[in-house]
Amino acid sequence: MSSPLRVSAGRPVVIDSSVAFKWFDTSEPGADIAGSLLREHQRDDVALLAPALLLPEVVNALLSRRTPVEDIERAIGFLADVDLLIAPLDAGLLAHAVQIASAEGLALYDATFIALAALLDADLVTADRRQATTDSCRVLFVGNDPEVYAAERMAEFALNNAVTATEYDQALSDVRARGIDPEAVPHQSRP
């Protein structure tokens, strides 16, 4: 990501953060497909692309799982070394993402991956069920159905994905409404 622009003759494939995360947790459903995509990228059979949101989202997922800082630093280096094609968050991409987010009821950051795939006429590979339901681009879903997650894991997702204090308070309320003590759920507290 810090090297000069990579040129690839491979078929463009947009990956979202859930797919890149699987390179660091091979027990995740779909990790075999994520690993295969990475090998195809390294052989130039495909060109893996992602918006600039990918790196902070993957690092945030590692932090939320309480990954040691040294391992996170190695993950950052790994992501730089695999030479993904990173699209800047320019006005055109964001405008398209806003349209998708509004039309499909998605978060803007999720819609950004979809918008990039749509603009490039590329496939989107995701383990995110909501992204996978889009009609805006072609999608390969590589995850589990949400129902297979335990209630505690869903609570962890809700608490760790809250960005603002208001969202965190709402997540706390939702978790408690499910009969789960938020203090028993591993997550990073918000102010």
The pLDDT, as a whole number, for residue 120 is 95
pLDDT at 155 over 70: yes
Per-residue pLDDT reduced to its tens digit, 10-44: 789 999 999 999 999 888 888 888 898 899 898 88
pLDDT band for 4, please (50, 70, 90 cuts). Answer: very low
The pLDDT, as a whole number, for residue 151 is 65
Of residues 153, 152, 149, 159, the one with CA closest to residue 187: 159
The full set of domain ranges for the chain reads 11-141, 149-184
Residue 57: which residues within 8 A CB-CB, separation 6 or more? 17, 109
Tokens of 43: 């052989």
The pLDDT, as a whole number, for residue 85 is 92
**Residues of the chain above pLDDT 90, percent:** 48
pTM: 0.71
Q: What is the mean pLDDT of the chain?
A: 85
Task: Write down the architecture of domain 11-141 according to CATH.
Answer: 3-Layer(aba) Sandwich (3.40)
Q: Is 2 exposed, middle or buried (0-12, 13-18, 19+ CB in 10 A)?
A: exposed
Lowest mean pLDDT among 53-62, 102-111, 122-131, 179-188: 179-188
